[in-house]
Structure 1
Amino acid sequence: MTTENDSKDYKKPEGYKKPDGYKKPFQNNFFNQAKPESKDIVFGIQSVLETLRAGKEIDKILVQRELGSLEVLEFARLRGVPVQKVPSEKLDRITRKNHQGVIAFVSAINYAKLENVVADVYEKGQVPLLLVLDRITDVRNFGAIARTAECTGVHAIVIPTKGAAQINADAMKTSSGALNFLPVCREENLYLTIKYLQNSGIQVVACSEKLSKNMYEIDFTMPTAIIMGSEEDGISEELLHSVDELATIPMTGRVGSLNVSVATGVVLYEALRKRMV
């Protein structure tokens, strides 16, 4: 059955322009090829620096608290790689080798540029469906969400640079291969990301059990970005106040919430159902 997502006659919003330097994000139907070193770490100041210079995707860098200014930290800042100061004991637990106070976690995927993904979806005449994850840190939850997102036609997952699950071998396995095909975009500021999406003609819908509007009232046939919040405290107040729609999943039981991967699946399949009608 053809879904609204597959439609070739959808017209992009009036005035929308492709970003400067736009490049098509999809190649050979395999957007994110898993790397053989997906579970690897790189340690040592010079080794991490050379990894950054080589353009390798890095999820985060752990740096010993006592270390001062380092060239590797400046490179990480320029690349937008999260840096976390930690006690030396934590580094020692990760590796017993001479790490020199610096350990980098190599990503299992190549991150996409959100602007390119949005432009590509519009160029194909499709209706954008994006998933924004606000501080979801559990690796298996992330993998399960990615699996459902790929099955329901989500065009990309958006995560924050800081406070997101590490995309490692466990995430890849839990996603059942979905992360090999589904673009993941890493953004420095989700508030500004929401504003960009809205300016691109995409409605932003926040989903939480704390909200009053039933999700069945939302028009998911429009260009849509769905926000799901962290396992601990949901969607941040800043993001809640910046979205277009606030929606909740109706529940009749005594337990007041769902696991975030389950909740995401419920919402995404409602979006898919409406797009298939």
Structure 2
Amino acid sequence: MENTTRIFGIRAVIEAIESGETIEKIFIQKGLSGNLFQELNRHLKSGDFNISYVPVEKLNKLSKGNHQGVIANISPIQYISLEELVERNKEGNPLYLLLDGLTDVRNFGAIIRTAECCGVSGIIIPTTGAAPVNADTIKTSAGAVFRVPIARVNHIKDALFHLQTYDIQVVAATEKTDQSIYDIDLKKPTAIVMGNEAKGVSNSILKSANQKASLPMLGEIASLNVSVACGAILYEAVRQRI
């Protein structure tokens, strides 16, 4: 976590929120109360923050000092809005990547690195339930995390619908289809959805996607690591586009 700034104390977290810092996660002690905590609560209700309510022992492990029951991790990167991301690329032929519930930071970093190499226009992740950008992410991405725009949204499904209004086809990578990725036209504006390491793309996203695509499996193991599968799919898009 060396590349993630950690701040301690209720007042410090309030000031970080007021100054517009990008907060990855907030840890709050269970049962916390008091006037200052109520002030923090009012700030938390103004946005969509990733909050975990934890026992004091957890906070003591994260901090050797006086944390006052609240600790926050500040992101080392600045996220952009989905609207800004789409606006940046509306005149081109964008290739987006949506990550639906990806939780492993090393997979996240490897995917960012491949995305940068493939000229991906931007990556879209949910605000909560997603792998954070931390030291492991940065290291695994070989610094690509600072080169690929990343947008955070409240819900991936809402982002999917937003992209579709711009005539961007949404292709969900899944084993639950007989359609091969090699049979899909990826030369047009496209958003590729990769799912959770264990569960894959959620059913609601599969139902809303324009296309579902799989990679051929010739061996006895039925699935690929998500970062490897993502690389294979992105390079099929590259192959078609060049």
TM-score (normalised: structure 2): 0.94
Which of the numbers 63, 70, 75 marks the counterpart of 1:95?
A: 63
- Report whether the alignment pairs 1:169 with 2:131: no
Contact 1:88 1:101 in 2 (8 A): yes
Contact 1:220 1:275 in 2 (8 A): yes
1:12 is matched with none
1:27 is matched with none
Which of the numbers 53, 58, 72 marks the counterpart of 2:23?
A: 58
Q: Deviations over 1:40-59 (max 9, x none)?
A: 21111111111111111111
Q: Give the 3-state SS of the residue equivalent to 2:46 in structure 1.
A: helix
Contact 1:40 1:106 in 2 (8 A): yes
Q: Identify which range, 171-180 or 75-84, moves more after superposition.
A: 75-84
Contact 1:73 1:83 in 2 (8 A): no
2:182 is matched with 216
Q: Per-residue deviation at 1:189?
A: 1.1
Q: Per-residue deviation at 1:155?
A: 0.5
Q: Deviations over 1:140-162 (max 9, x none)?
A: 11010000001101011000011
Q: Per-residue deviation at 1:232?
A: 1.5
The 1-side partners of 2:45 and 2:102 are apart by: 22
**How do residues 217-236 of structure 1 correspond to structure 2 at under 5 angstroms?**
217-236=183-202
Q: Deviations over 1:107-142 (max 9, x none)?
A: 0100011111111112xx310100000111111110
Q: Per-residue deviation at 1:229?
A: 0.3
- Report whether the alignment pairs 1:144 with 2:144: no
Q: What percentage of aligned pairs have identical amino acids?
A: 46
Which of the numbers 263, 266, 269 marks the counterpart of 2:229?
A: 263
- Report whether the alignment pairs 1:121 with 2:89: yes
The 1-side partners of 2:237 and 2:212 are apart by: 15
**How do residues 57-76 of structure 1 correspond to structure 2 at under 5 angstroms?**
57-68=22-33, 70-76=38-44
The 2-side partners of 1:74 and 1:238 are apart by: 32
Q: Per-residue deviation at 1:222?
A: 0.9
Question: Judging changes above 3 Å, is the alpha-carbon distance between structure 1 residues 212 and 178 closer, same or farther for their aligned structure 2 residues?
Answer: same
The 1-side partners of 2:215 and 2:42 are apart by: 44
Structure 1 segments, 4+ long, off by >6 Å, are none
The 2-side partners of 1:223 and 1:78 are apart by: 34
2:215 is matched with 249
Letter matched to residue 68 of structure 2: Q
The 2-side partners of 1:168 and 1:83 are apart by: 17
Letter matched to residue 269 of structure 1: Y
Q: Per-residue deviation at 1:64?
A: 1.2
1:159 is matched with 125
The 2-side partners of 1:265 and 1:41 are apart by: 32
Q: Give the 3-state SS of the residue equivalent to 1:241 in structure 2.
A: helix
Contact 2:95 2:189 in 1 (8 A): yes
Q: Per-residue deviation at 1:38?
A: 3.1
Unaligned ranges ≥5, structure 1: 1-36
The 1-side partners of 2:173 and 2:117 are apart by: 19
Q: Identify which range, 146-155 or 170-179, moves more after superposition.
A: 170-179
The 1-side partners of 2:200 and 2:58 are apart by: 28
Contact 2:181 2:233 in 1 (8 A): yes
The 2-side partners of 1:100 and 1:232 are apart by: 36
The 2-side partners of 1:262 and 1:66 are apart by: 43
Contact 1:76 1:83 in 2 (8 A): no
Contact 2:5 2:76 in 1 (8 A): no
The 2-side partners of 1:81 and 1:210 are apart by: 33
Q: Per-residue deviation at 1:74?
A: 2.9
Contact 1:76 1:82 in 2 (8 A): no
Aligned pairs, how many? 238
1:41 is matched with 6
1:15 is matched with none
